[in-house]
Amino acid sequence: MKTGFIAATAVVSIFAVTSMMLIVPANADNQENNSRSVAMKTLGKNMKTIGRAVKSGNITPDLQARAEEIKEISGRLISLFPKGQELPDSRAKPEIWSDAAGFKKSNDKFTLAANALVAALKTGDAGASKSALKATGKNCGGCHKAYRLPKK
């Protein structure tokens, strides 16, 4: 009895999953909810939080997790731009793919800055953290300037 029920449940679940895959196409990602957008917005939030803290001089230990997250995202940023999978309404410049080496170089610089930010926050020094944050922000802007289209 029990096995029969489990088997029936399994069949129903497989059917449900398969039909969902048919209804929701693989490229149903849009500009609002795709992993690239989520990651970039997370970068923005973390930068803002750390920015407020360094301004007030109140360097709290929880900021390290924010910096670690920036560093973690920088480590997978390139993979958020898979070739040939452009998203609707994306502001990604074609140069990301035609100048992949330059894009990677820009992100390498960002990663170095993010590492330095993690290190600076660990020291708890507000001044050092402030300059490390500024340097990190410069790299956000540098990449955006070169590889992000202006607002439509």
Residues that bind ligand HEC (CB under 6 A): 31, 36-37, 40-41, 43-44, 47, 70, 77, 87, 90-92, 103, 106-107, 110, 136, 139-140, 143-144, 147-148
Whichever of 59 and 111 has its CB closer to ligand HEC, that residue is: 111
CA–CA distance, 67 with 41 (Å, rounded to integer): 14
Whichever of 16 and 91 has its CB closer to ligand HEC, that residue is: 91
Nearest approach, Cβ of 115 to ligand HEC (angstroms)? 13
CA dihedral 110, 115, 120, 122 (to 10 degrees): 150
Whichever of 12 and 94 has its CB closer to ligand HEC, that residue is: 94
- Counting other chains too, the contacts that 131-134 makes at CB distance below 8 Å and 24 or more residues apart are 133/47, 133/50, 133/51, 133/54
Nearest approach, Cβ of 133 to ligand HEC (angstroms)? 9
131: its two tokens? 């300059």
Alpha helices in 24-99 (DSSP H): 35-56, 63-76, 95-98
Nearest approach, Cβ of 70 to ligand HEC (angstroms)? 6
